[in-house]
Structure 1
């Protein structure tokens, strides 16, 4: 179980050392975690990113923040998190906004295999994957993506960088997640949304 007493990493300082350092620290957090809940409104959740998709996302990060361009190292660490899915009783409940299926990361040649990978992921053990349709009625206002680790620690990411929360605000994210999931669809309904997004990606010439 992740330990809320462990000092939170200084994500901005780590980022200045390169994406490999940040992603390695995050992978170690994922390794310690047994139960995870997360919300990703406009990007595919990190643990389900293909290598090409992860590289494109991290390229956008280093270009914005002007940090070392160790993109391959960062992508290797990010995609390594997938090894923990379904292992040793770990559970993951992940919500994607429909926009995450549509955001054009890397163009069709990156998005096509990424969406195919999401379809395969629907049957992964220990993973509950929901999609919030773009026109679904929400019972909470949309916010930044976040992850809840073992119920006691929240990681939030945005332009401002990463933020680690272990105080009383953790309960706020539990409430937000519970309300967001009431708007999500699962199983065949989620598969239909992913398949629709895949069909919309331009075919290869």
Structure 2
């Protein structure tokens, strides 16, 4: 039974389930009769109608057929796929390798004018050096057992990062200090990556803050999952097993408020530079 961890996904699933229930009621049939017509169990009908189980496209088609509403199947399948896209396992996203995933997100990066990124695990993709990205993606490919197209994926990520230098965009980036000390690649790779962070601070489009390990956590008590906010309208949250897309207004507000509080914890300018330099010195 799939578990959907955000209200965005839950609301989308509930809305779809509600529409399917309305079709059944309009058809004047019981859940038992729908199950008979669809050649599945009564329990399955109940799970779908109560948004406990996510239906497949075939399930939606069968439901509509059973309710003499085949003409509505296409729209409901589209809604089902939209809900499904809100929680997508990395295994599914990367089943053909990582290059395709990088290229698929390029259009969104090009459309976005304001980025807000909170990094609690690794350096954000648009600030990664080729060496850091190669080491990171190699580890990911090995851990998840995905096709090894690391070289091509790194090239695609570097190409996507051109948004840092093009157009009227703004990047507010917050990085936990622990990320500066987490070794990705060898010493030279980390030194190059940290040096690139220092250089990025000079970009007119960039606001880079470091959240010190000693920062008080009364308002935000622990490092959160890594997330990217696109124009205050869409958020991608990176979990270990999946990418979650957040679009529900109430949940967007939670992440926006969290980002604002994390921003207040961060240091910028000279203080941030000092923390990065300290991390470089600790490499040797």
Partners of 1:101 and 1:15 lie apart in 2 by 26
The Cα of 1:88 is off from its aligned counterpart by: 1.5
The Cα of 1:11 is off from its aligned counterpart by: 5.9
Select between 33-42 and 80-89 the one with higher mean Cα deviation. Answer: 80-89
Gaps of 5+ in 1: 1-6
Partners of 1:161 and 1:76 lie apart in 2 by 23
Match of 1:22 among 94, 98, 101: 101
Question: If the length of structure 1 is used for normalisation, what is the TM-score?
Answer: 0.91
Structure 1, residues 109-161: CA drift from partner, whole Å, max 9, x if none? Answer: 21011111111111011110000001111221321110000101000112112
**Pairing 1:156–2:237 present:** yes
Gaps of 5+ in 2: 1-81
Partners of 1:194 and 1:42 lie apart in 2 by 16
The Cα of 1:198 is off from its aligned counterpart by: 0.6
Name the counterpart of 1:37: 116
CA RMSD of the aligned region, Å? 1.8
Q: Work out which structure has the larger RCO, using CA pairs closer than 8 Å and 6 or more positions apart in sequence.
A: 1
Higher percent of residues as helix: 2
Name the counterpart of 2:260: 178
Select between 77-86 and 182-191 the one with higher mean Cα deviation. Answer: 77-86
Question: If the length of structure 2 is used for normalisation, what is the TM-score?
Answer: 0.66
State the secondary structure of the residue aligned to 1:185: coil
Greater Cα radius of gyration, structure 1 or 2: 2
Counting only pairs closer than 5 Å after superposition, residues 64-143 of structure 1 correspond to structure 2 as: 64-138=143-217, 139-141=219-221, 142-143=223-224
Contact 2:89/2:241 (<8 A) preserved: no
Contact 1:43/1:99 (<8 A) preserved: no
Structure 1, residues 68-104: CA drift from partner, whole Å, max 9, x if none? Answer: 1100111111122321114221001000000111100
